[in-house]
Amino acid sequence: MEVKDFINEEKNDITLVAVSKTKPIEEIKKKYKEGIINFGENRVNELVEKFNHLPKDINWHMIGHLQTNKVKKIIPFINLIHSVDSLKLINKIENESKRLNKKTNILLQVHIAEEKSKYGFESKEIKDFFSNKLYESYKNINIIGLMGMATFTNNKNQIKNEFNKLKLLFDKIKPISNQKFKILSMGMSGDYKIAIEEGSNMVRIGSLIFGERD
């Protein structure tokens, strides 16, 4: 499957998020006109700036590490936050959403890579969170799935194993979660084919769509 094959969401059950970080507004507009509706950014200020200057029917995804003091800037318009990686952040999103009387969609980021630098919950923390039904105490958040990033490596087998681990976790959580739990966000330009084989239903693709970043 090529990137163009899953731009049309009606024909597919895999959602493409075009990662537009560092790319100018004009280039995003071009892709929007070609039919892309979901865009992902990893920095709050850049995301807010782009939201302000682009059509309002775009779905914006926050995919980068989010600091609690910046949460309130994106709550008014964000469609999905993929990178929720701590209880502190969940609580902050809950409080800001409550203040605006809205429900915010989030994914919990799971640490699956071997690199220590990448953010995310450990699998065990995710299992505890759901088996203790902690999600029920959040009235202004929809936890609609999980997100993960594989190790940056050429070893395809390792990437496959890491994505597989996340899919197994996802399958374990789904029956003990709420009805809305359905998104598994995994796969980037270099590894999205493996991610889809392993059960991803949301891919975050930047350089394959926009070209390499500087």
Ligand X SMILES: *Cc1c(COP(=O)(O)O)cnc(C)c1O
* Binding characters for ligand X, 131-150, by CB under 6 A (x = yes): ------------------x-
Q: How many residues lie near ligand X (CB under 6 A)?
A: 13
CA-wise closest residue to 85 among 103, 110, 62: 110
Binder among 172, 174, 190, 197 for ligand X (CB under 6 A): 190
Surface-to-core class of residue 141, CB atoms within 10 Å of its CB (0-12 exposed, 13-18 middle, 19+ buried): buried
Please state the closest distance from residue 41 (CB atom) to ligand X, in A.
9
Q: Which stretch binds ligand X (CB under 6 A): 50-58, 110-118, 164-172, 187-195?
A: 187-195
Q: What is the DSSP string of 140-198?
A: SEEEEEEEE---SSS-HHHHHHHHHHHHHHHHHHGGGS-TT--EEE---TTTHHHHHHT
Footprint of ligand X on 33-62 (CB under 6 A)? 42
The verdict on 207 binding ligand X (CB under 6 A) reads yes
Dihedrals φ, ψ of 57, to 5°?
A: -90, 10
CB of 17 or CB of 138, closer to ligand X? 17
Min CB(213)–ligand X separation in Å: 7
Q: Output the residue with the shortest Cβ distance to ligand X.
A: 206
Coil, helix or strand for 109? Answer: strand
Are 194 and 156 spatial neighbours (Cβ–Cβ below 8 Å)? yes
Question: Of 162, 151, 147, 155, whose CA–CA distance to 203 is shortest?
Answer: 147
158 near ligand X (CB under 6 A) = no
Query: In the bound complex, what is the minimum distance in angstroms from residue 211's beta carbon to ligand X?
Result: 9
**For binding to ligand X (CB under 6 A), which residues are involved?**
19, 21, 42, 63-64, 149, 188-190, 204-207
